Amino acid sequence: MRLAGGLPEAGARPLSAHRTAGGKLLAVLDAFTRSRPALALSEIARAAGMPLSTAHRLVAELVSWGGLERSDDGRYRIGLHVWELGALAPRALGLREVALPFMEDLYEVTHENVQLAVRDGDELVFVERLASREAVDVLTQVGGRFAMPPTGVGLVLLAHAPVDVQERVLAVPLQRYTPLTITDPRRLRAVLADVRRTGFAVSDRQVTMDAVSVAAPVTARGEAVAALSIVVRGTSAADVRAVTPGVRAAALGISRTLDRARG
């Protein structure tokens, strides 16, 4: 599993003799991650598993197209054209437009981190986040990937994911972020069952030791399509008790609006 877009540090990906020209371009783009947003040409070639000369040609094409940008230090970063295209993704676009008014209401009342996430495969992707400077720091960013088990939104998405997705996630070693991170699959199964029963999830300092979150599912035609959460500075699950009704009400409002919009 690739956590938060993590790039393997152990060397180049194997070069496939049957990889198409398009596949090679995508491999170049896939070399960039949340943890390594700027890469030298040699690093791109190694990560993409291709000769330096091939990487040089493809990078030049991407720079010309606007998919990559070259900084003054000679390193490359993802260009604005890629961001513009990503913003058109229909699942995130329509959902974000519907959810934003509800998220803004939550933010105005709490001035805490308000987050919206969707599941993509065995991970989650954050599609929107509102926060003040005084809000607790979080490890998430809009467009960033993260593991599902430790986060409030992830617990909701995993609880409502197909059984095969749940089994894949629980079959691999679960990463420990803090001493409170749940890494026992049996205990996590019980938590997921509780999320389905209660209609919300609480992540008590499972990602950082100063943050507690509460999340609720956003549904469309009865299917969980996203999760909405508030993350607050806290030292126990009780610290989100006061905001839990607001999160659940906002998630329900988004869900009803999505159903009306989709007829």
pLDDT tens per residue, range 166-205: 999 999 999 999 999 999 999 999 999 999 999 999 999 9
Strands lying side by side in the sheet with 211-220: 145-147, 123-130, 113-120, 223-233, 211-220, 201-204
How many Å apart are CA 53 and CA 163, to the nearest integer?
A: 45
Which amino acid, one-letter code, is at 138?
V
Q: What is the pLDDT of residue 84?
A: 66
Q: What is the pLDDT of residue 45?
A: 92
How many Å apart are CA 184 and CA 231, to the nearest integer?
A: 23
Give the CATH fold of the 3-86 domain: Arc Repressor Mutant, subunit A (1.10.10)
To the question of domain 90-261 being in CATH 3.30.360.10, the answer is: no
Q: 3-class SS at 113?
A: strand
Query: What are the residue boundaries of the structural domains of the chain, listed by start?
Result: 3-86, 90-261
Q: Which residue has the tokens 């969707």?
A: 118
Q: 3-class SS at 122?
A: coil
Alpha-carbon distances, residue 51 vs 15, 33, 90 (angstroms) = 9, 20, 35
pLDDT tens column, 102-133 = 999 999 999 999 999 999 899 998 989 998 88
Q: What is the pLDDT of residue 90?
A: 54
DSSP for 205-256, please give it: SSSSTTEEEEEEEEEETTEEEEEEEEEEE-SSGGGGTTTHHHHHHHHHHHHH
Phi, psi (rounded to 5 degrees) for 260: -65, -40
Query: Which residues in the chain show pLDDT less than 70?
Result: 1-19, 34, 83-84, 86-93, 262-263
